[in-house]
Chains A and B, each alone.
Chain A
Amino acid sequence: MTLSRRDFLKLGALVTASAVLSSCAPVYRRLAGDLPTVPWAPLTASDFLALNRLTFGPRVEERARFTEIGLQNYIEEQLAFDSINDFDCELLLNPFKTLNMDANELEGISNQLFDGYDRDKAPNELRQATLIRQLYSKRQLYEVIVEFWSDHFNIFMEKGNCFYLKTVDDREVIRKHAMGNFRDLVWASAHSPAMLTYLDNQANEKSHPNENYARELMELHTLSVNGGYSQQDVMELARCLTGWTVKEHFWLGDFAFKEELHDQGVKNVLGRTIQPSGQSEAEQVIEQLVTHPSTAHFIATKLTRRFIADEPPQQVVEKAAQTFLDTNGDIQSVLRVILLDGLPLAQPKYKRPANFALSALRALNAETDGAAINEHLLRMGQSYFNHPTPDGYPDHSEAWQGNLMPRWQFAFELIRNEMKNTKHNLNALLDVVPTDSLQADVDAVASLLLGAPLERFTRDELIDSVSKAGATPEETLQIIAASLIASPAFQWR
């Protein structure tokens, strides 16, 4: 068998990835949470639900912290994400060198004209790093909001050069401004080579404008579809955006404005006359879009939907939208309103696949390098940066309720430790639980995964059905843990 250079390099990357897990095993273990010394207490339904919204599913240590300082302080602690020490997680990300590269360097390692190229390195590392951050970062709320903006400003990594440009967008647009100001976020996104490429603005020229980005900037990023713009506004904004493109020579993959491709005429967008002024024409429109009441309402609605309920409570949306306008789009202030006012009104939401997988891994203090999890996310329908259309992965419960089988497969494989480079710590967690009976163990596992023990009758019925299928007590506990992850209750957060 001949192994091409490319295959060899791929193999190299795999070896590195598994080396990461083994050499850093103590870090993973520490990150997976110092294993508790006392059993975890059950939580009230509302506390468990709040923790599920503020994190990708609570770990035992987060439950303890939450119980210690209370909801309000916990929210403030998480909002001040910069003051949370996240050194361990950063250490884990250290091997992923592409995360910090600029577009030109990324192009270099991805371009087959150069030695040592690897087309899959940048996208693979970004996907793996995203999972590791969501799983291990102590800045959970920050990671939750990063995921939110990654959907809002969705970029499909399989389109054109987005496979490497998205890494820059993730770092310089989404992560940089996720908890900052909405205006800066839109501004950065509009100048992002990945976004301009994804929505074809790199091909938007005066001879014939390309309307794709202009439309989605208004429809999906700011005003929303019924936010008060017309087809004429789309065409005029597209004219303003002519010449906004991506560098293609010498230094590749940076933003560029090409005067010679720009439409020099007068434009009229949203009732305002825009005098010819090159790059600043579209920038003037962006300033108008980000402070528009429709934008405030749209962003407030989407954030409230993500954190609180599929049908967002209107009083929370209105207060959040007002805060958005009052603070000129300060994301932390808007979030504070939504979480403090909204969490008491929260309704169950069906977990999206990544949330489902992460909450199981986090509850069980799993150790993983993330590669195998990404395979599962693909099967469940939510592989990172893999949504083809610019609306991002849906956020309604209904959109995800169709396909249970891959979730069951995940639960079953996880508990049986059949995923590559992935190991849960259920047994070690249970070591601190007084093990006087199988019933007590099942209560502890249910409390870990669902927040509280099962009703006694349900618990006994479950134990009974598994034993009848011929399981030993040890197998019974294992199967029950898997079935609880697969259960309807665990699908909701």
Chain B
Amino acid sequence: MLQTLPVLHQIPNKSWMPRLAFVPRNSAPRGDTLVVIFLRGAADVLNMVVPHGEDAYYRLRPSLGVPRPDDSKRKKEERALDLDGFFGFHPSMSALTDAWISQQLAIIHACGAPDESRSHFKAMELMERGVDDERGPASGWIGRHLATLDTGNSSPLRAVGMGTRPQRSLSGSVPVSALRSITDFHLGGDARALQQMRAALSTVYEGDVMGQDTLSIMDTLQQLDPVNYQSKVAYPDSEFGLALKQTAMLIKAEVGLEVSAIDVGGWDTHFAQGSVNGQMPNLMKDLADGMAAFHADMQEYMSQLTIVTMSEFGRRASENGSLGTDHGHGSMMMVMGGHVDGDKVHGQWPGLGEGQLVGPGDLAVTTDYRDVLSEILTKRLNNPAIDSIFSNYQTKPVNVLSG
């Protein structure tokens, strides 16, 4: 009832909200749960999935380059793990080997967005909105997916941004929740005061979707008993590990989770990023260990799960003088799940030689990130409305997923 308050009544129409509420929604049964992992800061994908078959790579990265799988001068644990004779995982990503061998993990190399600003903030914004430039819709691509597909699911936990606030990609006309920690999601205090506070909150948030959602999530999660959640696998002791563990818990609890968005920061490695050991290898290890733990924990659910990783752009092919890498262009995506055409590096490799690099010396983009996402949305999440999600973009098949 507080809409009549002197301050509140002036709140403008939420101008960022897209007009998609008026677009007829497709209805379809719920498909996979989608987990979107965003590597913030432009990950150096050339050191994650190493083109060890390319001589130019080692010329451009005399210090940072990850040794070839057959480089007998280096210890085995320091060499790239061969994937297909040309590409190899960085050794700190070895935890992903199981998912790779079981054909539930695929890589799309040299993919990314057309934007060439090399600005983190612009590139992230455009990518999360799924648009070419500022003129496109202000909502996010996941937000538009939720808005165009009626799965008959009214759960306040339909889409969750793991963290203190929902990612830009989630914004749109369907309410989404931010969840930093399930165990923190309750009001303290004694039962009596709590009951009074709940009554008051429910009154002041009458008619407010987000407030009512928060109250019902509070009630739902209270029944989950998150403190005593046991998993048979050990997740990394990191924010990322926690986010994945909580995603697993929500999926198992069947509270209606359709999309979980997770951020992993720290990939802006201009300085001393480390070749085999160090800052960036630590990040890769956290990423790979986390994904591997999730893969193991969710084995029974893999046929209804798709996990995708992305980053706003890649980094310069050559290392800089401070043993780091500056902003580049082409990037890489990983897709994990039960219906992936796995054990394969997809996409067209543009090469790192003279005349093959673009701009100031960057990996070219041969697959648009939206091609990968649209395939997931159509084949695994049952959403045919790709034209509304990635408007003004004609998607092309990547065939990274079986139907």
Contact yes or no, A416 B2, CB < 8 A: no
The residue that B204 contacts in the complex, of A398, A452, A486, with Cβ under 8 A, is A486
B118 contacts across to A, CB distance below 8 A:
215, 231, 234
Contact with A along B199-216 (1 / 0, CB 8 A): 111111100101100100
Residues of B within 8 Å of A311, CB to CB, are 15
The range of chain A's interface size is 35 or more
Counting CB contacts under 8 A, is A208 at the interface? yes
Cβ 8 A contact of B360, one of A48, A231, A461: A231
B278 / chain A contacts, CB cutoff of 8 Å: none
Give Cα A482–Cα B188 distance, bound, in whole angstroms.
13
Given contacts A452-B6, A465-B200, contact A231 B359 (CB under 8 A): yes
Q: Is the CB of A489 within 8 A of B189?
A: no
Point out the residues of chain A lying under 8 angstroms from B360, CB to CB.
231, 235
One digit per residue, 1 when the CB lies within 8 angstroms of any chain A CB and 0 when it does not, for chain B 268-312 equals 101110000000000000000000000000000000000000000
Please, how many angstroms separate the alpha-carbon atoms of A55 and B244 in the complex?
Answer: 40
B326 on interface, CB distance cutoff 8 Å: yes
Q: Are A399 and B204 in contact (CB under 8 A)?
A: no
Closest-CB distance, A210 to chain B (whole angstroms): 5
Point out the residue from B2, B10, B117, B268 that lies within 8 Å of A348, measured CB to CB. B10
Closest to A398 in B: B16
B321 and A212 within 8 A (CB) = no
The residues of B that contact A471 with a CB separation of less than 8 Å are: 196
| Residues of chain B contacted by A487 (CB below 8 angstroms) | 2, 5, 204-205
Residue of A nearest to B165 (CB): A402
Contact A484 B165, CB 8 Å, known A210-B271, A389-B268: no
- The secondary structure that dominates the A interface is helix
Minimum Cβ distance to chain A for residue B128 (Å): 12
A402/B205 in contact, CB under 8 A: no
Are B184 and A488 closer than 8 Å at their CB atoms?
A: no
Contact residues in B for A207 (Cβ distance below 8 Å): 321
CB distance from A482 to the nearest CB of B (A): 6
In whole angstroms, what is the CA distance A209 to B166 when docked?
Answer: 36
Contacts of A113 in B (CB 8 A): none
Q: B2 contacts A469, CB within 8 Å?
A: no
Rounded to whole angstroms, the CA-CA distance of A206 and B320 in the bound complex is: 10
B5 touches A455 (CB 8 A): yes
Assess whether B5 is in contact with A479, with CB atoms less than 8 Å apart. Answer: no
Verify B193–A416 contact, CB threshold 8 A. yes
Nearest A residue to B12, CB-CB = A347
CA of A309 to CA of B242 in the docked complex: distance in angstroms? 36
B180 CB to nearest chain A CB (Å): 7
Task: With CB as the reference atom, state the residue of chain B lying closest to A484.
Answer: B204
Asked if B388 is at the interface (CB within 8 A of a chain A CB), the reply is no
- Nearest CB on B from A457, distance (A): 7
Q: Complex: how many Å from CA A391 to CA B312?
A: 15
Within 8 A of A (CB), among B233-275: 265-266, 268, 270-272
Q: Of A451, A461, A465, which is in contact with the most chain B CB atoms at under 10 Å from its CB?
A: A465
Which has the most chain B C-beta neighbours within 10 Å: A204, A220, A311, A488?
A488
Contact A418–B188 (Cβ < 8 Å): yes
> For residues 363 through 418 of chain A, which have their beta carbon under 8 Å from a beta carbon of chain B?
379-381, 388-389, 391, 398-406, 408-409, 412-413, 416, 418
Task: For B190, give the chain A residue with the smallest CB separation.
Answer: A416
Shortest A42–chain B CB gap in Å is: 9
Contact across chains for A462 and B322 when beta carbons are under 8 A apart: no
Q: Which residue of A has the minimal Cβ distance to B362?
A: A231
Does B33 reach chain A (CB closer than 8 Å)? no
Contacts known (A402-B178, A450-B5); A211 close to B270, Cβ less than 8 A = yes
Determine whether B65 belongs to the interface, using a CB cutoff of 8 Å to chain A.
no
Kindly state the separation between the CA atoms of A443 and B359 in the bound complex, as whole angstroms.
64
Is B23 an interface position by the 8 A CB rule? no
Question: B203 to chain A: which residues have CB within 8 Å?
Answer: 461-462, 465-466, 483
Decide yes or no: A458 and B4 within 8 Å by CB, A470-B195, A470-B196 being known contacts: yes
- Expressed in whole angstroms, the Cα–Cα distance for A388 and B118 within the complex equals 18
Contact of B200 among A231, A452, A454, A462 (CB under 8 A): A462
Cβ proximity bits A209-252 to B, threshold 8 Å, 1 near / 0 not: 11110010001100001000001001100000000000000000
Given A225-B122, A391-B121: A470 and B192 interface contact (C-beta under 8 Å): yes
Complex-state Cα separation, A479 to B202, whole angstroms: 12
Name the distance in Å between B266's Cβ and chain A's nearest Cβ.
Answer: 7
User: CB within 8 Å of A: which of B68-105?
Assistant: none
A210:B326 contact, CB within 8 angstroms: yes
Cβ–Cβ < 8 Å partners of B171 in chain A: 398
**Closest beta carbon of chain B to A311's beta carbon, Å:** 7
* Residues of B contacting A200 in the complex (Cβ-Cβ under 8 angstroms): 270-271, 322, 324
Is B198 interfacial (CB 8 A cutoff)?
yes
A480 at the interface (CB under 8 A from B): yes
Q: Are B322 and A210 in contact (CB under 8 A)?
A: yes
Query: Could you tell me the distance between the alpha carbons of A389 and B177 in the complex, rounded to whole angstroms?
Result: 23
B8 at the interface (CB under 8 A from A): yes
Are A389 and B40 touching (Cβ within 8 A)?
yes
Q: A403-B164, A450-B7, A479-B196 are in contact. Are A388 and B265 (CB under 8 A)?
A: yes
A-B contact pairs, 16 of them (CB 8 A): A48-B7, A210-B271, A212-B271, A225-B119, A231-B360, A389-B268, A398-B16, A402-B164, A402-B176, A402-B178, A406-B180, A406-B184, A465-B202, A468-B199, A470-B195, A479-B196
Besides A450-B5, A492-B11, 19 other A-B contacts (C-beta < 8 A): A49-B7, A210-B324, A210-B326, A225-B117, A225-B122, A348-B10, A348-B12, A381-B180, A388-B265, A389-B265, A399-B165, A400-B165, A402-B161, A403-B165, A403-B180, A405-B218, A413-B188, A487-B204, A492-B8
Interface residues, chain A, with chain B CB atoms under 8 Å away: 45, 48-49, 199-200, 203-212, 215, 219-220, 225, 231, 234-235, 311, 347-348, 379-381, 388-389, 391, 398-406, 408-409, 412-413, 416, 418, 450-452, 454-455, 457-458, 461-462, 465-466, 468-471, 475-476, 479-480, 482-484, 486-489, 492
